[in-house]
Copies of this chain bind each other. A is one copy, B any other.
Amino acid sequence: MHHNVYICRMENECKICPFSSKASEKLCECSYDELNENHAKVNFIKGNSILKQGNLSSNVIFLRTGLAKIHLSGPSHEQIVRLVKAPTYLGLPTTFGNKINQYSVTTLSDVEVCYIDINVFQKLLKSNEDFSYEIILELCNSELESFRRCANRTQKQTRGNLADVLLEFANHIFESETFTLPISQSEIGKLIDTSRESVSRLLSEFDKDGLIKMNGKQIEITNKKSLELISQNG
């Protein structure tokens, strides 16, 4: 696997970062200086590990551009918790909740990330209440989403969960009815707790039934209404 990583520091980079979060809008001039001098911008190509379960966590990560998966090793096999799209912070829970990373993050496209030293991030939190407050909001929403997702995973059957994944790609990740799957069928299986064989069979079924057009990893959603129905009744 190829690596393509570089690190640089730029004047004012954080302040003018076009991908900055709602939280970082709350930062003042001096906080930005602090950030500028204590972060590392890194580029990864598709398939690289940004954060690895079991390693010591020493950085908060801001995903500037690109797509990644959050995954962890479950009691019997790997599980993909969710897919995340820039811009977003990554690894807040794992960095603050535990000295050792409790999950991994791996890129699904070429990405740009900023590594922010945990001590610097901590200092920001402690010195800026508005920033802290926005982070708290993000964490709260993230946990609510975890609850919802878990209920779906456990209660819907495979057909419904697969429909959801396709709709998530179309509606939120690519915002287009046509897209190229950024993960393999085996990975889709790990995302919806099923076997790769089932994913394959169901994708063929969706294709045959005219819900999607599939050509390799190229997908076109041709009947969103029906997919939504399947999502509900799965």
A interface residues, Cβ below 8 angstroms from B: 72, 74-77, 79, 81, 92-98, 102-103, 122, 125-130, 132-133, 135-137, 139-144, 146-156, 160, 193, 232, 234
A149 to B143 Cα, complex, angstroms: 13
A143 touches B144 (CB 8 A): no
A151 to B97 Cα, complex, angstroms: 18
Chain B residues lying within 8 Å of A147, measured Cβ to Cβ, are 72, 81, 93, 102-103, 146
Chain B residues lying within 8 Å of A193, measured Cβ to Cβ, are 154-155
A148 to B79 Cα, complex, angstroms: 10
Q: This chain: how many copies in the complex? A: 2
B79 touches A151 (CB 8 A): yes
Question: Are A146 and B148 CB-contacts (below 8 A) given A126-B133, A136-B139?
Answer: no
Query: Can you name 20 A-B pairs with beta carbons within 8 Å?
Result: A72-B148, A74-B154, A75-B152, A75-B232, A79-B150, A79-B155, A95-B140, A97-B143, A98-B144, A102-B144, A122-B133, A125-B129, A127-B129, A129-B132, A132-B133, A132-B136, A136-B136, A142-B143, A150-B154, A153-B154
List 6 tightest A-B contacts by C-beta distance, closest first.
Answer: A74-B151, A97-B140, A93-B140, A139-B139, A132-B132, A150-B150
